[in-house]
Amino acid sequence: MYPKEFILSLFIVVIDVISAEWNTKDFMKREHSLIKPYYGSGLDIPFWQFTGSTIVTPNYIRLTDDTQSKRGAIWNSAPVNVRNWELQVHFKVHGKGKDLFGDGFAIWYAKDQMVDGPVFGSKDYFQGLAVILDTYSNHNGPHNHQHPYISAMVNNGSLTYDHDRDGTHTQLAGCEAKFRNLDFDSHIAIRYEKDVLTVSTDIENKAAWKECFQVKGVRLPTGYHIGVSATTGDLSDNHDIMSIRLFELDLPDDVSN
Ligand SMILES: [Ca+2]
């Protein structure tokens, strides 16, 4: 007969293995992740650079505060050489505006980093992927979706992001998502697996991912950079990032004999 403690600890180990299964298959890449405490031993954040209005606090990184005409960004200095990945961003968009607020932020997987510009704080005619969390509708005509709105755009450097149309003519897909001024944590996951792009949110306080959209046949090279940028204009909001985690996906089919 086993002592009670042993059985209990065995039970806990089994529970741990089940709950940790996701983490043991997919590996968080420390050099592409940004988690607390942000600072290393010195004054630099290892692997990350920031620009513009960005400030780093112990608990969050504020890309813009709730004032007009700000641009801020944070970029991962290490190029991503992982073929299949999932990027999870814990964020908070909040401000005093009840009906008028903006402009939003963008999560990047792009060739150029640290280049200031008009697309939610980063450069236009970019090369790579932008997942845009747009809080303000610039569109004056009849609208087919509400804001806040999440969309994805892939660019080879030839396309411009058209704010007047909220990027609708260049987007791959999108979904409405009420992610602003929430009292609980909000997360977005961008999964890029075998040329399939899936964007999901966890913004309903359910600790579960809900698919926003999925697009097949998305071709992205390796070696680009992860970044997040935000902007305010006439309207404003705080755009805060709590964490960024990049996981390398361990796909069974990748194992070749
Ligand atoms: Ca907009």
| Per-residue pLDDT reduced to its tens digit, 234-245 | 999 999 999 999
Question: Would 117 be classed as within a structural domain?
Answer: yes
Which pLDDT belongs to residue 4? 58
Question: Would 231 be classed as within a structural domain?
Answer: yes
Tokens of 128: 């790579």
The answer to which of 49-63, 89-103, 137-151, 178-192 has the lowest mean pLDDT is 137-151
Assign residue 42 the CATH number of its domain.
2.60.120.200
Between CA 180 and CA 147 the distance in angstroms is 10
Q: Which helix (H) or strand (E) holds 229?
A: strand 225-231
Number of domains making up the chain = 1
Contacts of 186 (CB under 8 A, 6+ apart): 90, 91, 92, 93, 179, 201, 202, 203
Which pLDDT belongs to residue 41? 78
* Coil, helix or strand at residue 185: coil
Residue 20 CA to ligand 1 center (angstroms) comes to 39
Between CA 79 and CA 225 the distance in angstroms is 5
Residue 92 CA to ligand 1 center (angstroms) comes to 18
Question: Would 14 be classed as within a structural domain?
Answer: no
Residue 115 CA to ligand 1 center (angstroms) comes to 20
- Dihedral sign of CA atoms 160, 246, 26, 209 in order: negative
- pLDDT 10s digits, 123-139: 999 999 999 999 999 88
Question: Would 17 be classed as within a structural domain?
Answer: no
The answer, yes or no, to whether residue 23 has pLDDT greater than 90, is no
Residue 14 CA to ligand 1 center (angstroms) comes to 48
Q: Write out the residue range of the structural domain in which residue 35 sits.
A: 27-249
Residue 103 CA to ligand 1 center (angstroms) comes to 6
Residue 47 CA to ligand 1 center (angstroms) comes to 30
The answer, yes or no, to whether residue 76 has pLDDT greater than 60, is yes
Question: Would 194 be classed as within a structural domain?
Answer: yes
Question: Would 183 be classed as within a structural domain?
Answer: yes
Residue 246 CA to ligand 1 center (angstroms) comes to 27
